Structure 1
Amino acid sequence: MTAFPREELDEMVRRWLDANERCEKTGDWQPLAEMYTTDATYGWHNGPDDEFMAVGRDEIRDHALGTEMYGLDGWTYPYQKVLIDDQAGEVVGFWKQVADARRPDGSPYVVAGIGGSWFRYAGDWQWSWQRDFYDFGNAAALFMEMIKDGSLSDGMRKRIERAAAPQPGHHPRGQSPVGIW
Protein backbone atom coordinates (compact mmCIF):
# COMPACT_ATOMS: atom_id res chain seq x y z
CA MET A 1 0.00 0.00 0.00
CA THR A 2 1.20 3.45 -0.87
CA ALA A 3 0.38 6.74 0.75
CA PHE A 4 -0.90 9.52 -1.49
CA PRO A 5 -1.41 13.20 -0.76
CA ARG A 6 -4.87 13.78 0.61
CA GLU A 7 -5.47 16.55 -1.93
CA GLU A 8 -4.75 14.13 -4.80
CA LEU A 9 -7.21 11.56 -3.48
CA ASP A 10 -9.82 14.26 -2.90
CA GLU A 11 -9.38 15.35 -6.52
CA MET A 12 -9.61 11.75 -7.77
CA VAL A 13 -12.89 11.29 -5.92
CA ARG A 14 -14.20 14.57 -7.36
CA ARG A 15 -13.26 13.44 -10.88
CA TRP A 16 -14.85 10.03 -10.28
CA LEU A 17 -18.13 11.48 -9.01
CA ASP A 18 -18.27 13.97 -11.91
CA ALA A 19 -17.63 11.16 -14.44
CA ASN A 20 -20.36 9.04 -12.82
CA GLU A 21 -22.86 11.87 -13.16
CA ARG A 22 -21.97 12.27 -16.85
CA CYS A 23 -22.42 8.53 -17.42
CA GLU A 24 -25.78 8.54 -15.63
CA LYS A 25 -26.98 11.31 -17.94
CA THR A 26 -25.89 9.52 -21.13
CA GLY A 27 -26.75 5.99 -19.98
CA ASP A 28 -23.28 4.85 -21.09
CA TRP A 29 -20.94 3.73 -18.32
CA GLN A 30 -18.09 2.57 -20.56
CA PRO A 31 -16.18 5.91 -20.54
CA LEU A 32 -15.37 5.21 -16.87
CA ALA A 33 -12.94 2.51 -18.07
CA GLU A 34 -10.32 5.20 -18.72
CA MET A 35 -10.20 5.81 -14.98
CA TYR A 36 -8.65 2.36 -14.39
CA THR A 37 -5.11 1.16 -14.99
CA THR A 38 -4.66 -1.17 -17.97
CA ASP A 39 -4.26 -4.14 -15.57
CA ALA A 40 -6.95 -3.13 -13.05
CA THR A 41 -9.49 -5.59 -11.66
CA TYR A 42 -13.13 -4.98 -10.83
CA GLY A 43 -15.34 -7.50 -9.08
CA TRP A 44 -18.26 -8.25 -6.80
CA HIS A 45 -20.27 -11.09 -5.32
CA ASN A 46 -23.45 -11.76 -7.24
CA GLY A 47 -25.46 -13.88 -4.86
CA PRO A 48 -24.27 -16.78 -2.73
CA ASP A 49 -22.65 -18.86 -5.48
CA ASP A 50 -21.51 -16.39 -8.15
CA GLU A 51 -18.70 -13.86 -8.42
CA PHE A 52 -18.05 -11.37 -11.16
CA MET A 53 -14.50 -10.34 -12.02
CA ALA A 54 -13.25 -8.21 -14.89
CA VAL A 55 -9.48 -8.31 -15.38
CA GLY A 56 -7.92 -5.43 -17.29
CA ARG A 57 -9.33 -2.18 -18.61
CA ASP A 58 -10.84 -3.82 -21.70
CA GLU A 59 -12.87 -6.33 -19.64
CA ILE A 60 -13.88 -3.57 -17.25
CA ARG A 61 -15.13 -1.51 -20.21
CA ASP A 62 -16.80 -4.38 -22.05
CA HIS A 63 -18.18 -6.46 -19.21
CA ALA A 64 -18.39 -4.54 -15.90
CA LEU A 65 -19.41 -1.22 -17.46
CA GLY A 66 -21.01 -2.63 -20.61
CA THR A 67 -22.76 -6.00 -20.35
CA GLU A 68 -23.40 -5.75 -16.60
CA MET A 69 -24.91 -2.27 -16.87
CA TYR A 70 -27.16 -3.22 -19.79
CA GLY A 71 -30.80 -2.69 -18.91
CA LEU A 72 -30.04 -0.18 -16.18
CA ASP A 73 -30.47 2.82 -18.47
CA GLY A 74 -31.83 5.73 -16.50
CA TRP A 75 -30.82 4.28 -13.14
CA THR A 76 -28.74 6.51 -10.89
CA TYR A 77 -26.23 5.62 -8.21
CA PRO A 78 -26.01 8.70 -6.00
CA TYR A 79 -23.12 8.50 -3.57
CA GLN A 80 -24.22 9.10 0.01
CA LYS A 81 -20.82 9.17 1.69
CA VAL A 82 -17.17 8.75 0.65
CA LEU A 83 -14.38 7.77 3.04
CA ILE A 84 -10.75 8.31 2.03
CA ASP A 85 -7.70 6.58 3.52
CA ASP A 86 -4.75 8.54 2.14
CA GLN A 87 -2.21 6.30 3.89
CA ALA A 88 -3.51 3.14 2.18
CA GLY A 89 -4.52 4.93 -1.02
CA GLU A 90 -8.02 3.50 -0.68
CA VAL A 91 -11.50 4.95 -0.99
CA VAL A 92 -14.89 3.55 0.02
CA GLY A 93 -18.03 5.12 -1.38
CA PHE A 94 -21.56 4.26 -0.27
CA TRP A 95 -24.30 4.65 -2.89
CA LYS A 96 -27.95 3.96 -3.55
CA GLN A 97 -29.39 2.21 -6.61
CA VAL A 98 -32.34 4.26 -7.86
CA ALA A 99 -34.47 3.21 -10.84
CA ASP A 100 -35.87 5.77 -13.23
CA ALA A 101 -39.32 4.17 -12.88
CA ARG A 102 -41.78 5.22 -10.20
CA ARG A 103 -44.13 3.23 -8.01
CA PRO A 104 -47.87 3.84 -8.38
CA ASP A 105 -47.67 6.17 -5.36
CA GLY A 106 -45.01 8.26 -7.15
CA SER A 107 -42.04 7.18 -5.04
CA PRO A 108 -38.92 5.91 -6.83
CA TYR A 109 -37.94 2.26 -6.88
CA VAL A 110 -34.77 2.09 -4.74
CA VAL A 111 -32.80 -0.99 -3.78
CA ALA A 112 -33.01 -1.21 0.02
CA GLY A 113 -29.84 -1.84 1.98
CA ILE A 114 -26.34 -0.49 1.50
CA GLY A 115 -24.45 -0.45 -1.77
CA GLY A 116 -20.90 0.64 -2.19
CA SER A 117 -17.56 0.49 -3.90
CA TRP A 118 -14.10 0.01 -2.44
CA PHE A 119 -11.25 1.32 -4.59
CA ARG A 120 -7.46 1.27 -4.53
CA TYR A 121 -5.82 4.28 -6.10
CA ALA A 122 -2.78 3.77 -8.35
CA GLY A 123 -1.85 7.38 -8.98
CA ASP A 124 -2.14 9.20 -12.31
CA TRP A 125 -5.92 9.57 -11.77
CA GLN A 126 -6.61 5.83 -12.08
CA TRP A 127 -7.90 3.01 -9.90
CA SER A 128 -5.94 -0.25 -9.73
CA TRP A 129 -8.95 -2.17 -8.44
CA GLN A 130 -12.55 -1.84 -7.40
CA ARG A 131 -14.77 -4.14 -5.39
CA ASP A 132 -18.50 -3.49 -5.17
CA PHE A 133 -20.96 -4.65 -2.55
CA TYR A 134 -24.72 -4.42 -2.50
CA ASP A 135 -27.65 -6.20 -0.96
CA PHE A 136 -28.36 -8.95 -3.51
CA GLY A 137 -31.55 -10.06 -1.75
CA ASN A 138 -33.00 -6.55 -1.73
CA ALA A 139 -32.00 -5.99 -5.37
CA ALA A 140 -33.75 -9.24 -6.39
CA ALA A 141 -36.83 -8.28 -4.36
CA LEU A 142 -36.98 -4.88 -6.04
CA PHE A 143 -36.75 -6.44 -9.50
CA MET A 144 -39.58 -8.82 -8.58
CA GLU A 145 -41.67 -5.87 -7.37
CA MET A 146 -41.01 -4.04 -10.63
CA ILE A 147 -41.95 -7.12 -12.66
CA LYS A 148 -45.24 -7.45 -10.73
CA ASP A 149 -45.97 -3.72 -11.16
CA GLY A 150 -45.18 -3.89 -14.88
CA SER A 151 -42.53 -1.18 -14.53
CA LEU A 152 -39.43 -3.15 -15.50
CA SER A 153 -37.88 -1.72 -18.68
CA ASP A 154 -37.56 -3.81 -21.84
CA GLY A 155 -33.78 -3.61 -21.48
CA MET A 156 -33.96 -4.99 -17.95
CA ARG A 157 -36.29 -7.81 -19.04
CA LYS A 158 -33.75 -8.74 -21.73
CA ARG A 159 -30.95 -8.58 -19.18
CA ILE A 160 -32.80 -10.96 -16.85
CA GLU A 161 -33.50 -13.37 -19.73
CA ARG A 162 -29.86 -13.25 -20.81
CA ALA A 163 -28.67 -13.97 -17.27
CA ALA A 164 -30.00 -17.53 -17.56
CA ALA A 165 -27.02 -18.32 -19.84
CA PRO A 166 -23.35 -18.08 -18.81
CA GLN A 167 -22.13 -14.48 -18.98
CA PRO A 168 -18.57 -13.16 -19.40
CA GLY A 169 -16.79 -12.47 -16.14
CA HIS A 170 -19.03 -14.66 -13.98
CA HIS A 171 -17.42 -17.48 -12.02
CA PRO A 172 -18.47 -19.96 -9.34
CA ARG A 173 -17.70 -18.57 -5.90
CA GLY A 174 -13.99 -18.80 -5.15
CA GLN A 175 -12.98 -19.51 -8.76
CA SER A 176 -12.60 -16.04 -10.28
CA PRO A 177 -9.19 -15.31 -11.85
CA VAL A 178 -8.49 -12.70 -9.15
CA GLY A 179 -9.73 -13.01 -5.59
CA ILE A 180 -12.50 -10.72 -4.42
CA TRP A 181 -10.39 -9.99 -1.35
Structure 2
Amino acid sequence: MPWQREELDEMVNRWVVENQRCEALGDWKPLADFYTEDATYGWNYGPQQEFMAVGRDEIRDIALGQEMFGLEGWTYPYQEFVIDERSGSVIGFWKQVNESSRADGRPYSPEGIGGSWFRYAGNYRWSWQRDFFDFGNVTALFVEMMQDDALSNGMQKRIQRSISGEPLKGWYPVGEGPVPQW
Protein backbone atom coordinates (compact mmCIF):
# COMPACT_ATOMS: atom_id res chain seq x y z
CA MET A 1 0.00 0.00 0.00
CA PRO A 2 1.54 3.35 -0.93
CA TRP A 3 1.80 5.93 1.84
CA GLN A 4 2.05 9.69 1.73
CA ARG A 5 5.65 10.79 2.26
CA GLU A 6 4.54 13.63 4.53
CA GLU A 7 2.78 11.13 6.83
CA LEU A 8 5.86 8.91 7.04
CA ASP A 9 8.09 11.92 7.70
CA GLU A 10 5.73 12.99 10.50
CA MET A 11 5.79 9.44 11.95
CA VAL A 12 9.58 9.49 12.02
CA ASN A 13 9.59 12.94 13.63
CA ARG A 14 7.14 11.83 16.34
CA TRP A 15 9.18 8.67 16.91
CA VAL A 16 12.47 10.56 17.32
CA VAL A 17 10.95 13.10 19.71
CA GLU A 18 9.41 10.38 21.89
CA ASN A 19 12.66 8.38 21.85
CA GLN A 20 14.52 11.42 23.16
CA ARG A 21 11.91 11.94 25.87
CA CYS A 22 12.09 8.28 26.93
CA GLU A 23 15.90 8.35 26.98
CA ALA A 24 15.79 11.35 29.32
CA LEU A 25 13.36 9.46 31.57
CA GLY A 26 15.36 6.23 31.40
CA ASP A 27 12.07 4.49 30.59
CA TRP A 28 11.30 3.30 27.05
CA LYS A 29 7.93 1.69 27.82
CA PRO A 30 5.87 4.69 26.58
CA LEU A 31 7.15 3.91 23.06
CA ALA A 32 4.76 0.94 23.03
CA ASP A 33 1.97 3.35 22.09
CA PHE A 34 3.64 3.66 18.66
CA TYR A 35 2.85 0.01 17.79
CA THR A 36 -0.32 -1.69 16.60
CA GLU A 37 -1.99 -4.11 19.03
CA ASP A 38 -0.62 -7.10 17.07
CA ALA A 39 2.82 -5.69 16.22
CA THR A 40 6.00 -7.75 16.53
CA TYR A 41 9.45 -6.57 17.57
CA GLY A 42 12.58 -8.67 17.43
CA TRP A 43 16.34 -8.88 17.00
CA ASN A 44 19.16 -11.38 16.92
CA TYR A 45 21.46 -12.01 19.91
CA GLY A 46 24.20 -13.85 18.04
CA PRO A 47 24.42 -17.31 16.50
CA GLN A 48 22.24 -19.09 19.06
CA GLN A 49 19.66 -16.70 20.49
CA GLU A 50 17.08 -14.27 19.19
CA PHE A 51 14.44 -12.11 20.79
CA MET A 52 10.82 -11.63 19.80
CA ALA A 53 7.93 -9.78 21.43
CA VAL A 54 4.46 -10.32 19.99
CA GLY A 55 1.76 -7.73 20.60
CA ARG A 56 1.84 -4.25 22.10
CA ASP A 57 1.76 -5.55 25.69
CA GLU A 58 4.83 -7.78 25.18
CA ILE A 59 6.59 -4.96 23.37
CA ARG A 60 5.93 -2.67 26.35
CA ASP A 61 6.69 -5.19 29.10
CA ILE A 62 9.44 -7.30 27.59
CA ALA A 63 11.15 -5.46 24.69
CA LEU A 64 10.96 -1.96 26.18
CA GLY A 65 10.90 -3.03 29.84
CA GLN A 66 12.89 -6.20 30.52
CA GLU A 67 15.29 -5.81 27.60
CA MET A 68 16.00 -2.10 28.19
CA PHE A 69 16.55 -2.59 31.92
CA GLY A 70 20.08 -1.56 32.80
CA LEU A 71 20.38 0.74 29.80
CA GLU A 72 19.39 3.84 31.71
CA GLY A 73 21.90 6.57 30.86
CA TRP A 74 22.27 5.30 27.30
CA THR A 75 21.06 7.21 24.26
CA TYR A 76 20.38 5.97 20.77
CA PRO A 77 20.72 9.03 18.55
CA TYR A 78 19.47 8.39 15.05
CA GLN A 79 22.00 9.28 12.36
CA GLU A 80 19.88 8.83 9.24
CA PHE A 81 16.57 7.43 7.99
CA VAL A 82 15.71 5.73 4.72
CA ILE A 83 11.99 5.86 3.95
CA ASP A 84 10.13 3.93 1.25
CA GLU A 85 6.61 5.31 0.90
CA ARG A 86 5.65 2.48 -1.49
CA SER A 87 6.08 -0.27 1.11
CA GLY A 88 5.94 1.72 4.34
CA SER A 89 9.43 0.50 5.24
CA VAL A 90 11.54 2.83 7.34
CA ILE A 91 15.13 2.10 8.29
CA GLY A 92 16.71 4.19 11.01
CA PHE A 93 20.45 4.02 11.65
CA TRP A 94 21.45 4.81 15.25
CA LYS A 95 24.39 4.85 17.59
CA GLN A 96 24.37 3.51 21.12
CA VAL A 97 26.10 5.95 23.46
CA ASN A 98 26.62 5.70 27.22
CA GLU A 99 26.63 8.76 29.45
CA SER A 100 30.02 7.71 30.88
CA SER A 101 33.32 8.37 29.17
CA ARG A 102 36.54 6.44 28.92
CA ALA A 103 39.71 7.75 30.59
CA ASP A 104 40.65 9.45 27.30
CA GLY A 105 37.32 11.32 27.19
CA ARG A 106 35.64 9.27 24.44
CA PRO A 107 32.14 8.05 25.35
CA TYR A 108 31.51 4.36 25.73
CA SER A 109 29.87 3.46 22.42
CA PRO A 110 30.18 0.25 20.40
CA GLU A 111 31.86 0.34 17.03
CA GLY A 112 29.88 -0.89 14.07
CA ILE A 113 26.40 0.02 12.97
CA GLY A 114 23.05 -0.21 14.67
CA GLY A 115 19.63 0.27 13.27
CA SER A 116 15.95 -0.53 13.22
CA TRP A 117 13.80 -1.60 10.31
CA PHE A 118 10.17 -0.64 10.75
CA ARG A 119 6.99 -1.35 8.82
CA TYR A 120 4.42 1.43 8.93
CA ALA A 121 0.79 0.45 9.50
CA GLY A 122 -0.90 3.85 9.30
CA ASN A 123 -2.40 5.95 12.08
CA TYR A 124 1.15 6.72 13.33
CA ARG A 125 1.81 3.11 14.37
CA TRP A 126 4.42 0.49 13.46
CA SER A 127 3.25 -3.05 12.63
CA TRP A 128 6.70 -4.50 13.20
CA GLN A 129 10.27 -3.62 14.04
CA ARG A 130 13.48 -5.55 13.61
CA ASP A 131 16.69 -4.23 15.16
CA PHE A 132 20.17 -5.01 13.91
CA PHE A 133 23.50 -4.28 15.55
CA ASP A 134 27.01 -5.63 15.64
CA PHE A 135 26.70 -8.15 18.47
CA GLY A 136 30.47 -8.73 18.60
CA ASN A 137 31.24 -5.04 19.04
CA VAL A 138 28.50 -4.59 21.65
CA THR A 139 29.89 -7.56 23.59
CA ALA A 140 33.43 -6.17 23.36
CA LEU A 141 32.22 -2.81 24.67
CA PHE A 142 30.52 -4.36 27.70
CA VAL A 143 33.67 -6.40 28.45
CA GLU A 144 35.70 -3.17 28.26
CA MET A 145 33.22 -1.45 30.57
CA MET A 146 33.45 -4.35 33.05
CA GLN A 147 37.25 -4.10 33.01
CA ASP A 148 37.02 -0.33 33.57
CA ASP A 149 34.43 -0.77 36.35
CA ALA A 150 32.14 1.49 34.31
CA LEU A 151 28.93 -0.56 34.36
CA SER A 152 25.90 0.83 36.17
CA ASN A 153 24.29 -1.25 38.90
CA GLY A 154 21.38 -1.86 36.54
CA MET A 155 23.69 -3.16 33.81
CA GLN A 156 25.47 -5.41 36.29
CA LYS A 157 22.08 -6.86 37.29
CA ARG A 158 21.17 -7.25 33.63
CA ILE A 159 24.35 -9.21 32.92
CA GLN A 160 23.82 -11.42 35.98
CA ARG A 161 20.27 -12.08 34.82
CA SER A 162 21.50 -13.02 31.35
CA ILE A 163 24.10 -15.50 32.58
CA SER A 164 21.97 -16.99 35.36
CA GLY A 165 20.65 -19.77 33.15
CA GLU A 166 17.08 -18.75 33.97
CA PRO A 167 14.91 -18.61 30.86
CA LEU A 168 14.10 -15.05 29.83
CA LYS A 169 10.76 -14.05 28.33
CA GLY A 170 11.07 -13.38 24.63
CA TRP A 171 14.40 -15.20 24.17
CA TYR A 172 14.35 -18.15 21.76
CA PRO A 173 16.86 -20.42 20.04
CA VAL A 174 17.47 -19.03 16.57
CA GLY A 175 14.60 -19.95 14.25
CA GLU A 176 12.25 -21.07 17.04
CA GLY A 177 10.54 -17.77 17.91
CA PRO A 178 6.77 -17.32 17.61
CA VAL A 179 7.20 -15.31 14.38
CA PRO A 180 10.17 -15.25 11.99
CA GLN A 181 12.78 -12.54 12.31
CA TRP A 182 12.76 -11.86 8.54
TM bin (shorter chain): over 0.9
1:92 counterpart residue number: 91
State whether structure 2 residue 181 is matched by structure 1 residue 180.
Answer: yes
Give runs of aligned pairs for residues 92-111 of structure 1, distance below 5 A.
92-111=91-110
1:137 counterpart residue number: 136
2:53 counterpart residue number: 54
C-alpha distance in 1, partners of 2:52/2:94? 20
1:6 counterpart residue number: 5
Q: Which amino acid aligns with 2:112?
A: G
Q: Which amino acid aligns with 1:178?
A: V
C-alpha distance in 1, partners of 2:13/2:172? 33
Give runs of aligned pairs for residues 123-162 of structure 1, distance below 5 A.
123-162=122-161
In the comparison of the two structures, how many residue pairs are matched?
Answer: 180
Q: Which amino acid aligns with 1:171?
A: Y
C-alpha distance in 2, partners of 1:163/1:144? 14
CA positional deviation for 1:57: 0.1
CA positional deviation for 1:9: 0.2
C-alpha distance in 1, partners of 2:109/2:23? 16
Q: What is the TM-score with the length of structure 2 in the denominator?
A: 0.98
CA positional deviation for 1:95: 0.3
Determine helix, strand or coil for the equivalent of 1:120.
Answer: strand
Give runs of aligned pairs for residues 104-119 of structure 1, distance below 5 A.
104-119=103-118
Q: Which amino acid aligns with 2:168?
A: Q
CA positional deviation for 1:63: 0.5
Q: Which amino acid aligns with 1:174?
A: G
C-alpha distance in 2, partners of 1:127/1:51? 20
- Is the deviation greater in 164-173 or in 26-35? 164-173
CA positional deviation for 1:66: 0.3
Give runs of aligned pairs for residues 11-90 of structure 1, distance below 5 A.
11-90=10-89
Q: Which amino acid aligns with 1:130?
A: Q
CA positional deviation for 1:70: 0.3
C-alpha distance in 2, partners of 1:173/1:38? 25
5+ long unaligned stretches in structure 1: none
C-alpha distance in 2, partners of 1:145/1:3? 45
Q: Which amino acid aligns with 1:170?
A: W
Runs in 1 of length 4+ with deviation above 2 angstroms? none
Aligned residues: percent identity?
Answer: 63
CA positional deviation for 1:166: 1.4
C-alpha distance in 2, partners of 1:62/1:163? 17
1:121 counterpart residue number: 120
Q: Which amino acid aligns with 2:106?
A: S
